[in-house]
Chain A
Amino acid sequence: MTVRALLDNRLLPALAVALIVIALPWFFPSMYYYRIGALVFIFALAVVGLNLLMGFAGQVSLGHAGFLGIGAYAVAIGPTHLGMPSWLSLFAGAAVSGLVAFLVGRPILRLKGHYLAVATLGFGLLVAIVLTNEAQWTGGPDGMSVPRLVLFGWSVRGSDTWYWIAGGTCVVGFLLALNLMHSPTGRALQAVHDSEVAALVLGIDVAGKKLAIFTISAMYASVAGSYLALFNGHVTPDVAGFLRSIELVAMVVLGGMGSIVGSLVGAIVLVVLPQALTVFHEYEQALLGLIVMVFMIFLRRGIVPSLAALIARPRK
């Protein structure tokens, strides 16, 4: 089986991720590593959703952290101000994100290229501004605390618990994405990416498909945002900020646009990096900027597709 066929296989990447989730804790010397792992899988979930939108369907969203923010604040506002249980707030957040994506997406997905990029950027920033300003709901610039998730009377706490929750959800998320890719809808989305006009004349409702994938990717980000907030116990408007949106896109690009496995790789690199920097925390932004530049200039395909191409190169 060629490397490409292996990576394209519907179940294999999900299986690989499941294996990684299960095997990793063997190597964890302390609870701290469970925390990193949980964060990696939380972000990988958001990234795979964004990857479906950008790498697969060929759109762009530079404001995706806005949906991260909606999901994060949903599990803060729901229990605190509305008396809703956390798990219900999570679903509500995903529903709200989906609705917002649907409403905002209809007009702006008509745009292409840098117009679409800037429109999504504007959207993300608006969400961040609203979250910063509506202080009685959101706690303002300092944010608010997030009550712990309570499931069947049991308070969900601890990095190890969240590691398994995030890892498990990530595998499910990957599986759904892989299912989509190997289906009629997936083919239609790829067609839209390559040639909208050809897709149209073949009967594909291009606007509808773009909207659908935008909505789906928004919901992925929302769930990830909710997990992030529940895990951290606290949320600030930064979660929906410009830098966060660019981080998500950087993870997509790094790992490889359109590569499911790449989504995990991208998340690993950009979650572990700041942790590894510790003392040089100040260098985080400069490094992020540098990484984005270098990859967009020289390694636009991303890590996983480039590696796959390297391995697949015929030997002389």
Chain B
Amino acid sequence: MAELLQFVFSGLTVGAIYALVALGFTLIYKSSDIINFAQGEFVMLGGMITVFSALAGMPLVVAAVVSVIATTVIGLALHRCAVAPARGATPVALIMITIGASIFLRGVAQIVFDKRFHSLPPLFSGDPIKIGGAAILPQSLVVLACGAVIVLVLWLFIERTMLGKAVVATAANRLAARLIGVDTRSIVDFSFAVSAAIGAIAGILITPIALTSYDAGTLLALKGFAAAMLGGIGSAPGAVVGGLLIGMIEALSAGYVSSNYKDAVAFLIILGVLIFIPQGLFGRARVDRV
């Protein structure tokens, strides 16, 4: 029982990160129909920039803020320089562009930073807290709490602000949104920026637990995407549920089945979802008109 609880805790922790990545995917997908593969790189950059800024002498908090801002700018640049110029390309071409961007960012990180693993000090140092025979790191609780806060803020924003409504409108029907005066280009800019920021924060939160390196982004992006697909791409609550689910399934299968194939879980889930329930848990099946 204690063992199960342990797996659940670690699963929820990493699942919270997947959920944040998935949320970033969903935000961009909803406002522009684009699958952004560089999402994982935002997480990586959040962690890496903080690490190296701190190493360069900045106080940790400043480094973190700098990192979030820098990553947000990079996210914006990704849209402005790489995605927006390719408007009208096929969905596959757009994925390729974001894949190219992801590899590019990885390559640059490799040069600017280095190829080693790096860590950050946790927000609260101290011994793991014991709950029901299992131990949970204080940082895990921080991750879960911050994750919940971000989701809440995002939800409030979408439901209660005018800008939030504009994002929803853009997601529902681009042309119609433009016709009623929504600046859809800026909305997509905005969603890229927010996704980048969310990713960066996730990266800063998880680095004390799971470390980071220049190539940590790829796997994260894929798992985050699996989470978004599982929840139903385009559904924000689905992204959160999907992320937590994948985190837990991963931890449980690593614990009880085989830790080697831990990473395979997410990909098996992707294939399973695409083949059997393409609309995911919370999505709606689409009917195409001929």
Contact = CB atoms under 8 A, between A and B. Distances in A.
Interface of A: 60, 62, 107-108, 110-111, 113-119, 121-123, 125-126, 129-130, 133, 197, 242-243, 246, 249-250, 253, 282-293, 296-298, 300
Nearest to B38: A289
29 contacts: A110-B275, A113-B92, A114-B35, A115-B278, A117-B92, A118-B35, A119-B270, A119-B271, A122-B271, A126-B271, A129-B267, A243-B103, A285-B103, A286-B107, A287-B107, A288-B100, A288-B104, A289-B102, A290-B104, A291-B100, A292-B97, A292-B99, A292-B104, A293-B97, A296-B93, A296-B96, A297-B86, A297-B89, A298-B85
Given A114-B92, A118-B225, A297 B97 contact: yes
A286 B274 contact: no
B268 interface: yes
A283 B271 contact: no
Interface in B78-124: 82, 85-86, 89-97, 99-108, 110-111
Contacts of B270: 118-119, 121-122
Given A114-B35, A286-B104, A296 B86 contact: yes
Given A108-B274, A123-B271, A133 B261 contact: yes
A246 B101 CA distance: 12
A151 to B, nearest CB: 37
* Residue with the highest number of chain B CB atoms closer than 10 Å, among A116, A249, A285: A285
A122 B97 contact: no
B271 A282 contact: no
B251 interface: no
B68 to A, nearest CB: 23
Nearest to A104: B271
Given A126-B267, A197-B290, A284-B107, A289 B101 contact: yes
Given A118-B274, A123-B271, A289 B91 contact: no
Given A288-B104, A300-B93, 10 more contacts: A108-B275, A117-B92, A119-B271, A119-B274, A285-B103, A292-B104, A293-B100, A293-B104, A296-B96, A297-B89
Nearest to A111: B274
A285 B264 contact: no
Nearest to A293: B100
Interface residues of B, number: 42
Chain A interface, DSSP helix/strand/loop, else mixed: helix
Contacts of A114: 35, 91-92, 94-95
Contacts of A253: 96
Interface in B238-271: 260-261, 263-264, 267-268, 270-271
Contacts of A118: 35, 95, 225, 229, 270, 274
B219 to A, nearest CB: 9
B222 interface: yes
Contacts of B108: 286
Nearest to A294: B100
Contacts of B278: 111, 115
A238 B92 CA distance: 24
A160 B138 CA distance: 61
A113 B85 CA distance: 20
Nearest to B258: A133
B139 interface: no
Given A133-B261, A293-B82, A300-B89, A117 B107 contact: no
A275 B226 CA distance: 36
Contacts of A300: 89, 93
Contacts of B102: 289
Contacts of A62: 95, 99
Contacts of B39: none
B131 to A, nearest CB: 33
